[in-house]
Structure 1
Amino acid sequence: MDLSFLIDLLGEPGVATAGGLAVGLVFGVAAQQSRFCLRAATVEFGRGILGPQPFSPAIVGPRISVWLLTFGTAMVWTQALQAFGIMDLREARMLAVPGSLSGAIVGGLMFGAGMVLARGCSGRMLVLAATGNLRALLSGLVFAVAAQMSQRGILSPLRAEIAGWWTTGGSNIDLTAWLGIGHRGGLALGILAAAVALYFAWRNAVGLRVLVMASGVGFAIPLAWLFTYTLAQQSFTPLPIEGITFSGPSAATLMFFLQPHEANFAIGLVPGAFLGAFLAAAFTGELELQGFEGGASMRRYLFGAALMGMGGMLAGGCAIGAGVTGSSAFALTAWIALTGMWVGAITTDALLDRPAALAAPAH
């Protein structure tokens, strides 16, 4: 993929921003139409484990099927592109810099709890905000502010302190190399995950359109990797190789609108995802204004969003950034953060929401 013409026409920042916008559009359309959501998948799984028939096959329902297909698709394409020498992610920030194991654990737990409180992860909030959900819009703004405070603001010393407790050393750990399976082994695991997802999707009668869109969300991840890798190879100045995440980009986009500076891939990604979700919802007649149900509900959403903001910065990414993007690259800390998100979400739902759900029929 030769980007020299576009670089000459738009300049490197312009091409990076346009690429982020295009990738964001793909993600936004596919995420809105597939209802992709890690929070929904974790709640479905947790309630299946703790239900009247613990660990029954019913714990793998339609929401987990959608999430797992997205996860498997991202892994298949990311590992295939590396296995066949099309790109090399060893210089990507997620793998090249030291990984924080303590940050992944603490941040993953915080993010998981926060997304249950806010009823959606940061990526899902962005998609919902585009469809007219004012709860998600305000929660997304709080998320971005908390992420910025954790990255460079008043919370940054605390984040740095926690992140420094336990690190991987000189760089993060690539699990495909550490386990000795190579990228072809990673590709095989991705194919297995996608196959399992398709089987349970068939069992749960998930529609073809939803499956295609779930695959589209997963495909957007390697699309981002490949675009930023190609641009970095052809650029005259050092540019980061990055995938899709909404922790850092949400904070960066907020600051860009408050104090404009040179744009980049992240600055295009968030508006692109918002626009894609808006267009998809408008085309299918799903635009609808929604607000908070009361003060208690508002406090819950905003506190959850703040937890996700700091948790995402600690964990090295959000439910998309660490949970899918980082995991597709087999970064050790991403897999630990993803595990923490599942544990945090299931625990929070079990303590707060599941008792209320069980009591509801009695009233």
Structure 2
Amino acid sequence: MDLTFFLDRFSEPWILTAGGLTVGVIFGAFAQQSRFCLRAAALDFVHGIFGVRLSVWLMTFSAAVLGTQILVALGEVQANEARQLASPQSLSGAAIGGLLFGAGMILARGCASRLLVLSATGNLRALLSGLVFAVMAQASLRGILTPVREWIAGWWTTADIGGNNLMEFLSMSFTITILLSLMWLAAGIFFAFRSRAPLWQMIAALITGLTIPLAWWFTSSMALQAFDPVLIEAVTFTGPSADALMLFLSPPGSTLDFNVGVVPGVFLGSFVAALLARELALQGFEGGKSMARYMTGAAMMGFGGMLAGGCAVGAGVTGASIVALTAWITLTCIWFSAMVTDRLIEAQPKKTAEQRIVPEEDMVQETALQPVPVSRG
């Protein structure tokens, strides 16, 4: 992708920020329309419901991995220069952070990206939870929790095992990775057809996933053409949420980059999509216990995501798309922790089956979209 026209007319930080904003808008709009949510997929999976919400996650995930691996094979993305592969990563942080994030995701009723998308539609629970998430992420990155994060992260790193490229460890070729991606995509399509998922929702899921290779492609192109060093990266929400928070709290002149544009872009895209679909609706907390649950979950996700080096999207989709070992560990731990936490909550007698399976912030929107009862996916 030739960016000479833009590089000749605008500063590199502004181009990177505009690129992040554009990718964020696309991700936000189509994530809102597809109802992309790892929590929803994990809940359906643990309850044996292989329906719309699981198919949405599978199609988004497979599109991200497939698109990215094709670009890497064609030489359009320099994956080995991405942070996840170019520098040592924490194996202990990936495991423990993933476990914390998965449990927090269940308590907060949505991962970081889902909270951001929902907050743009008028969900005040998600908005406040997202702010707590961003504050905890910042405290873990550069604040009072930094020593704790660094201590846990230093227990075991990829430097101890010789790298973080899972393809190299397993001697996997691009062909095998692409075939696996096609299998996941086929599974998503099968579950979608079996549950009679709306075609538009499935298309939106695929486009959501394709924003990941789009981001890799853009930052790789900037890294090749820009004068100053540019970090090759894609969509994630833990670090960018902390950066976006500090952008609003810091004096003018704060650093602009790709990450700074992602969060406001997702919010804007989600808002516009919900506005056009007439899905904007104010929602609040139901009581003190509900609020405490959300805040606790958001705090766990903020620290866990920063410890793991990524959230359900940053590690679970973006990191997995370049087959980073720590990303796959994080993703596995998020799924495992989410399912175990749901089972523990399910044991509480006051929860009805429908409340356990369906995220309450999604009930109104999913009822309008799905031709099958919401409690069945």
Relative to the length of structure 2, the TM-score reads 0.91
**Percent of residue pairs identical:** 56
1:302 matches 2:295: yes
Residue number in structure 2 paired with 1:54: none
Deviation at 1:200, TM superposition (A): 1.1
Contact 1:176-1:185 at 8 Å conserved across structures: no
1: CA distance, partners of 2:82 / 2:121: 33
Deviation at 1:61, TM superposition (A): 2.0
Which one of the candidate residues 264, 269, 272 is aligned to 1:279? Answer: 272
Residue number in structure 2 paired with 1:53: none
1:195 matches 2:186: yes
SS of the counterpart of 2:9?
helix
Contact 2:79-2:322 at 8 Å conserved across structures: yes
2: CA distance, partners of 1:30 / 1:212: 9
2: CA distance, partners of 1:232 / 1:360: 50
Which letter maps to 1:133?
N
Which one of the candidate residues 301, 317, 326 is aligned to 1:324? Answer: 317
What do the CA deviations read for 1:184-228 (whole angstroms, capped 9, x no partner)? 221111111111110111111111100000001100111111100
What do the CA deviations read for 1:98-143 (whole angstroms, capped 9, x no partner)? 1211001100000000010000000000000000000000000000
1:160 matches 2:150: yes
Deviation at 1:79, TM superposition (A): 0.4
Q: Mapping of 1:1-363 within 5 angstroms?
A: 1-48=1-48, 59-169=49-159, 172-259=163-250, 260=252, 261-353=254-346, 355-356=348-349, 359=352
Unaligned runs of 5+ in 1: 49-58
2: CA distance, partners of 1:284 / 1:122: 23
Residue number in structure 1 paired with 2:373: none
What do the CA deviations read for 1:74-100 (whole angstroms, capped 9, x no partner)? 011000001122222100011111121
Contact 1:94-1:172 at 8 Å conserved across structures: no
1: CA distance, partners of 2:195 / 2:349: 26
2: CA distance, partners of 1:72 / 1:357: 37
Which letter maps to 1:337?
T
Contact 2:84-2:164 at 8 Å conserved across structures: no
Classify 1:337/1:297 alpha carbon distance in 2 versus 1 (closer, same or farther; 3 Å).
same
2: CA distance, partners of 1:262 / 1:321: 21
2: CA distance, partners of 1:20 / 1:123: 15
Contact 1:80-1:184 at 8 Å conserved across structures: no
Moved over 3 A (4+): 353-361
Which letter maps to 2:102?
G
2: CA distance, partners of 1:358 / 1:199: 31
Which letter maps to 1:47?
H
Unaligned runs of 5+ in 2: 355-377
Deviation at 1:353, TM superposition (A): 3.5
Contact 2:52-2:192 at 8 Å conserved across structures: yes
What do the CA deviations read for 1:126-162 (whole angstroms, capped 9, x no partner)? 0000000000000000000000000110001000011
SS of the counterpart of 2:256?
coil
Which letter maps to 1:164?
G
Deviation at 1:338, TM superposition (A): 0.3
Which letter maps to 1:203?
R
Deviation at 1:25, TM superposition (A): 0.6
1: CA distance, partners of 2:290 / 2:35: 22
SS of the counterpart of 1:169?
helix
2: CA distance, partners of 1:91 / 1:360: 46
